[in-house]
Amino acid sequence: MNELAPIKRRRGRPPKDLSAHNETRTQLIHTGIEILAEKGFSATGIDEILKSIGVPKGSFYHYFESKDRFGLELIDSYSRALKGKLNRFLLDDTLQPLDRLKAYMTDAERSMEKYDFKRGCLIGNLGQEMGRLPEDFRERLTSVLEDWQGSVERCLEESKVHGQISSDLDCKQLAYIFWTGWEGAVLRAKLERSAKPLKAFSGFYLASL
């Protein structure tokens, strides 16, 4: 039987354990989304986010190059999370397509109610602040909304196949209208601390189809 070859050891320092670094970075992103969804980007200081999870003041730049870079990463993370939720509802083939869209809006309403309507949509909040944000935020926010619109557009196209809406309707335009109106409803729900704007838009939009 051949002898096992000796294990070769790498020269130099052992590789750093990045798990703690990555965990803290993830916490900063998660907390940043929660706070910005309530207060907005301009009104939120980095120190507030650091303090909320017990990260020492001055440590922020170990994790992100700048507050602007942090903001872009929050947009990306929030976008992925909401896209996952959209897929969960809009790709649920146990429901008819329009019922999927209704279920998504109902779930969003419950989510806002859970936090006493203090938290809105991060993308909508940042859009409201665009005059005070770096210009590269505009492109990122627009891209996110277009991606979400694509999900709704595909759901509406499927509703044509199921005979729920007329085959001559422009689903791309309807998806654009959905997100324009829905973001406005979310903003007003936050303003009024009430589900009334969400229910009003949901009922009107679905009836209009």
Evaluate whether residue 14 is within a structural domain: no
Mean pLDDT calculated for residue range 96-109: 98
| In a domain? residue 35 | no
Residue with tokens 């909320």: 52
Per-residue pLDDT for 1 more than 50?
no
Distance CA 188, CA 195 (A): 9
Is residue 200 a part of any domain in this protein? yes
Cα dist from 179 to 119, 148, 196, whole Å: 17, 8, 17
Q: Is residue 196 part of a domain?
A: yes
What six digits make up the tokens of 75?
Answer: 């947009």
Residue 93 resides in a domain: yes
Containing domain of residue 184, as a range?
A: 73-208
Taking only the tens place, the pLDDT of each residue in 144-194 is: 999 999 999 999 999 999 999 999 999 999 999 999 999 999 999 999 999
Report if residue 27 sits inside a domain.
no
Q: In the predicted model, is pLDDT for residue 23 greater than 70? A: yes
34 inside domain: no
Residue with tokens 């709704």: 152
Which CATH number characterizes residue 79's domain?
A: 1.10.357.10
| Overall domain count for the chain | 1
* Global pTM value: 0.86
The predicted structure's pLDDT at residue 20: 73
pLDDT at 61 over 80: yes
29: how many CB neighbours lie within 10 A of its CB?
19
Task: Report the C-alpha gap between 36 and 52 in whole angstroms.
Answer: 13
- Answer whether residue 125 is part of any domain: yes
For every residue of 132-175, DSSP letters joined together read: GS-HHHHHHHHHHHHHHHHHHHHHHHHHHHTTSS-TTS-HHHHH
